[in-house]
Amino acid sequence: MIYIAPSLLSADFAHLEAEIKRMENAGANYLHLDVMDGLFVPNITFGAPVISALRPHSKLIFDVHLMIQDPIRYIDDFVKAGADIITVHLESCADPRAALNAIREKELRCALAISPATPVEQLIPYLSEIDMALIMTVVPGFGGQKLIPETLEKVRTVRRYAESHHLKLDIEVDGGIKPDNIHLLTEAGANIIVAGSAIFCSKRPRSVIASMRETAAEHPYKK
C-alpha cells in the first residue's frame, strides 16, 4: 500500500491547525514533521513544543524527521510530544544504533535516513534493525527542490535487499516529489511518499493526493 505524507514544512505556519485538518480531509495518511536545528542542516524549523501543541488536533500518524545533530539527546522530548515514528539521520549520529535503540525502547517505530551524498551501502547494515528507511531525494534543509534522479537507485537497492532478506521494511522518500514523478519512486520500491509544496500549495489537495495514489497504483515496484 502507498501512504501519502504531506510535509508540514510547506504549510501556512500562521494557520497550522487548519492546515492539518485540510490534509486530513484531503485523505493524507501521515503528517511529515521536519525538525531542523540550523546545525545539521542550514535551516531552523520547529521543535517538540510545536508538535506537542498540534498533537491533540490530529489523528494522522506523526512522522517526525529529526534533521538535528546528535538526536539521541531529544528522543524523549519527541516521544512526549506525540510522535508515532521518529527518524534520525545516519550522518548526524555518533552512534546510530544507540539512537535507534532509544526510540525502540519507547515502543515507537524507528527509522534511519540518509542524505543524497551518503552511499546506500552505509545504510544496509541497519535495515534489519529499523521499521523504515528514509531515502532523501533532495539535499535536506529546504523545501521546493527538484528530485535528484541518482537517488532512485538507492531506493531500488534497499527494496531488493529487504525482499531478499525477508524484511518487512517501509521505504520513505522525501524531496521534490509530485504527481508527475511519483511513478519513478514507486517503481523503484518506495511505499511512503513525502510531498510538501505539491500538496500544501494546491487549492485542491484531495485531487493531488488522489492523483498520486492513482499513478502509484499504475506503477508498482518493478523488480
Please tell me the distance from the alpha carbon of residue 67 to that of residue 37, in angstroms, as a whole number.
7
Catalytic, out of 37, 63, 131, 174 = 174
User: At 3, which helix (H) or strand (E)?
Assistant: strand 3-6
User: Which three cell numbers, joined as nine digits, stand for 18?
Assistant: 487548519
Give the Cα separation of 189 and 222 in Å (integer).
Answer: 7
Active site residue 34: yes
User: Has 174 been annotated as catalytic?
Assistant: yes
Cβ 195 vs Cβ 28: under 8 Å = no
Q: What is the CA radius of gyration of the chain?
A: 16
The DSSP line for 108-164 is: -EEEEEE-TTS-GGGTGGGGGG-SEEEEESS-TT-SSPPP-GGGHHHHHHHHHHHHH
Catalytic one of 12, 34, 95, 180: 34
φ, ψ of residue 71 in degrees (nearest 5): -65, -20
Burial label for 7, CB within 10 Å (0-12, 13-18, 19+), is buried
Give the residue numbers marked as catalytic. 34, 174
